[in-house]
Structure 1
Amino acid sequence: MTTQHTPADDAAHTAPTDAELDARFAPVFERIAAGSVEREQKRELAHEPVQWLKDAGFTALRVPRRYGGGGATLPQFFRLLTRLGEADSNLPQILRLNFGFIEGSLERDDEAARERWLTKIAAGELVGAAISERTGATHNSVTLQRAAEGWRLNGEKYYSTGSLYADWIDVAAHDGTDDVRVLVRGDARGVTRLDDWDGFGQRLTASGTTRFDQVEVPDEQFLLRYKGSEPKRNTSQPAFYQTVHLATLAGVARAVLRDGVAFAQGRTRTFGVPGRSSPRDNPLTQRVIGRLASLAYAAESVVEAVARSLERIYQDRLAGRAQTQDYFALDIEAWQAQQVVIGQALEAATLLFEVGGASATSETLRLDRHWRNARVIASHNPAIQREAAIGAFHLNGTPPNERFSLAHTSVEIEGQGADTPLAA
């Protein structure tokens, strides 16, 4: 027998302390960071790091404790996600849809589904997604048809980030009448997952093709039905998904600072200075490091601010206080943050090479991965369209998700900007 989710349930289960979380996850992040360059050089998918995170409970960090999860607040979650992005910026992207699935489950008024799926995540199972398509169509081409028992799923998705690592795949399909969502096992018969992502960054996210050929879907794995053409209101998911990207970018900025300091401290010659000299004592090198530190600080501070707003909306929703205009303001805040953090991370990833000159371009260091990864993360979202939506909101009061839904008439754009998948 299940019970309804109430604000008192969350109040009864206090969040862990920051010190407890750091003691638990800092060693895992260090272990992940230690192998990040080698994985990049070999294009070695991050199966082991994902397993380490599952074993440590990171993938269930936002699952409430009553389901067996970590019970962390959103500010705690995004602070740790930034640290994970610093260790290896592929990892937050791999887990992004898992975390979005958790937040979506917490929003929907379906306690039975929460109990079924969040307990699985708390036990270490991982959810990926197959939402977006790389076609010329503007509709959902994956079909779900009734069978003698359950359903049959057929079709192909692209930009299915995390699915290759996942135990379960959250699939957007069409049943001939409506858009629907179902969960299928990643290893189910008829499911094919390909590592054919060809982006120049985020190479280990396996953000490629997932195919479904007469995949059996039992009734209990049918999640929901909705009208895909209707704008989704009173949800924090668009802002949540965007903030995952921003935390990853802030992590990249922190990694750039870390690697810039390590590179300068390990050198014994400054460019243009004959003889033995130390870059760490050079005022120009100090200035570059100072700028990198400032960019990392600013990016992380912006992410923390949005995370606090997400937590406030979360608590207001539990208490029944959240209004539509509050969700609009949250979207605008996240989109404004996007305009700033993208520039900060990209500037840092470029400025890094002023610390070391030509020697910093060595393939053995792979310092270029920071810029490549940041550029690909930044390209996942149509920032220029968001900027126009921000202006329309401030000038005319145009609701942000209503304005932005017009920009998602292309399935491919939706795929690359998957912070507003059909799930959201």
Structure 2
Amino acid sequence: MSELTNLSSAGPALVSPLSASLGFAQIIDDIATSAAERERDHRLPREEIASLKALGFGALRLPVDAGGRGVSLRELLVIARDVAAADSNIAHAFRNHLWQVEAALRRREHPFHARVLELAGQKKTIGLSFVDSDVTAAGARPTKVLSRLEWDASRDVYVGSGDKVYATGNLYNDAFIGLAVESRAGRTVQYVLDRGEGVSDDDDWQGFGQRLTGSGTARFRDVTVPAAHLYPTDPPKSDEAAPWGYTFHQVYLTNCIAGIVRRVALDAVDVLRARGRNFYHGEAAHPADEPALQSLLGRIRAYAASVEATADRAVVALQRVWDAQGTRDEYETTLAATFAASEAKVVIDDLAPQIASWLIDLGSGSVVSRIGALDRHWRNIKVIASHNPRLYKERLLGQNLLTGQLPPTGAFF
């Protein structure tokens, strides 16, 4: 068996031995079984996400004595891929929280990050309250949703309002973090806002895929933040530090697509076994005995395995970054991981939709019913892939070979 990919001589399996050993097998199976029904009925996976929280999915990276399971970054992504194979909406909804935990583990001595880890250890999840200042502007960068926190002396709290557009996962989160200018000293601070009065979420995300990620608008109206939940901003990085700090985001999304592709391969077996009749011009009485369809199933299996192996390469590169923190190798390993993430995205964003379309070829008219919701795989892949379009990754990879061009350092590459 591959170190990362859950493959054996019998092909892919939904749940990895790692997830099973940590007690996640049953919930992942349950999520997979009900995924098509949720898609058909547009039922938000509140209960499923709550169950994963209760099992500690959001705290996997924390040490055991802090409420976690002490898994490595590589192992986290193994389990996240299993969840994505069951339902990519659910895996995607955890991304922002898992990134906050990852960032906090690197700077756990800072009081803000210590608070993030404390919440994660309590099996709570944390969303973001950043928003684009002008979502129509080229190169728009995130700014502060609660751009100003006004001190209310009568209640001994700060008060703020704002909207977070495209708030993936916020429907399911227990707390939110962001930046704001606090009124008393006029300084920029980080804050932690607990879900409570004044926090609301609209399920108004209009994407044709990833429909259940809770990616609508999060609204904050006169929310209160105690002074104790304001923290100084992080110190700037040193000149020697690697500037590429957001590779986790891209690898996580590509890892989710790899999970969907695994599910396509598993569904392909069920589809072919379930077909009751072959085309009249086929060579066999039953579709499962049809040489052309057996070949297509084999192609799906092979390409799915290649997608997972490509994702594994990026995951391993990201683990090396974690292992190299604070060493002389940190810069080079971070740069290498950024390129590995870009290479994986270019390849997987091309292959994954094709693999999902082969599932329809395999089932033909037997699988186009909305009841099975098999079209969700292609739609979900395309929506995840639309984050950070691969065209820019391709250009960078080519530029780097020609001129040594380095990757951008912003959060959205």
TM tier relative to shorter chain: 0.7 to 0.9
Deviates more, 1:106-115 or 1:370-379: 106-115
Distance 1:285 1:167, change over 3 A: same
Q: Give the counterpart of 1:293 among 297, 301, 306.
A: 301
Q: Deviations over 1:333-381 (max 9, x none)?
A: 1111110111121111111111111221011111000011111000122
Asked if residue 78 in structure 1 is aligned to residue 81 in structure 2, the reply is: no
For residues 246-325 of structure 1, what are the structure 2 equivalents within 5 Å? 246-273=254-281, 277-317=285-325, 320-325=327-332
TM-score normalised over the length of structure 1: 0.83
Secondary structure of the structure 2 residue equivalent to 1:135: coil
Q: Deviations over 1:233-280 (max 9, x none)?
A: 636642111111111100110111111110101122122347982211
Percent of aligned pairs with the same residue? Answer: 30
Asked if residue 245 in structure 1 is aligned to residue 248 in structure 2, the reply is: no
Q: Is the 8 A contact 2:199 2:220 kept in 1?
A: yes
Deviates more, 1:160-169 or 1:269-278: 269-278
Asked if residue 186 in structure 1 is aligned to residue 195 in structure 2, the reply is: yes
Distance 1:155 1:46, change over 3 A: same
Corresponding position of 1:411: none
CA distance in 2, matches of 1:390, 1:175: 42
Q: Is the 8 A contact 2:342 2:393 kept in 1?
A: yes
Q: Is the 8 A contact 1:232 1:401 kept in 2?
A: no
Corresponding position of 1:209: 217
Root-mean-square deviation (CA, aligned residues, Å) is 2.7
Corresponding position of 1:342: 349
Shift of 1:389: 2.2
CA distance in 1, matches of 2:179, 2:348: 30
TM-score normalised over the length of structure 2: 0.85
Asked if residue 160 in structure 1 is aligned to residue 137 in structure 2, the reply is: no
Q: Unaligned stretches of 5+ in structure 1?
A: 1-17, 406-419
Corresponding position of 1:136: 136
Corresponding position of 2:408: 401
Partner amino acid for 2:136?
A: G
CA distance in 2, matches of 1:384, 1:231: 30
Q: Is the 8 A contact 1:202 1:372 kept in 2?
A: yes
Secondary structure of the structure 2 residue equivalent to 1:288: helix
Shift of 1:67: 1.5
CA distance in 1, matches of 2:242, 2:158: 30
Q: Is the 8 A contact 2:96 2:127 kept in 1?
A: yes
Corresponding position of 1:367: 374
Corresponding position of 2:177: 170
CA distance in 2, matches of 1:233, 1:151: 35
CA distance in 1, matches of 2:81, 2:172: 21
Partner amino acid for 1:136?
A: T
Corresponding position of 1:22: 20
Corresponding position of 1:126: 125
Distance 1:304 1:220, change over 3 A: farther
Partner amino acid for 1:167?
A: D
CA distance in 1, matches of 2:306, 2:263: 14
Which structure dedicates a bigger proportion of its chain to helix?
A: 1
Partner amino acid for 1:63?
A: L
Distance 1:278 1:109, change over 3 A: same
CA distance in 1, matches of 2:239, 2:163: 24
Q: Is the 8 A contact 1:178 1:226 kept in 2?
A: no
CA distance in 1, matches of 2:252, 2:174: 21
Q: Is the 8 A contact 2:277 2:287 kept in 1?
A: yes
Secondary structure of the structure 1 residue equivalent to 2:61: coil
Partner amino acid for 2:213?
A: T
Asked if residue 221 in structure 1 is aligned to residue 220 in structure 2, the reply is: no
CA distance in 2, matches of 1:227, 1:320: 19
Corresponding position of 1:4: none
CA distance in 1, matches of 2:188, 2:347: 34
Q: Is the 8 A contact 2:313 2:340 kept in 1?
A: no
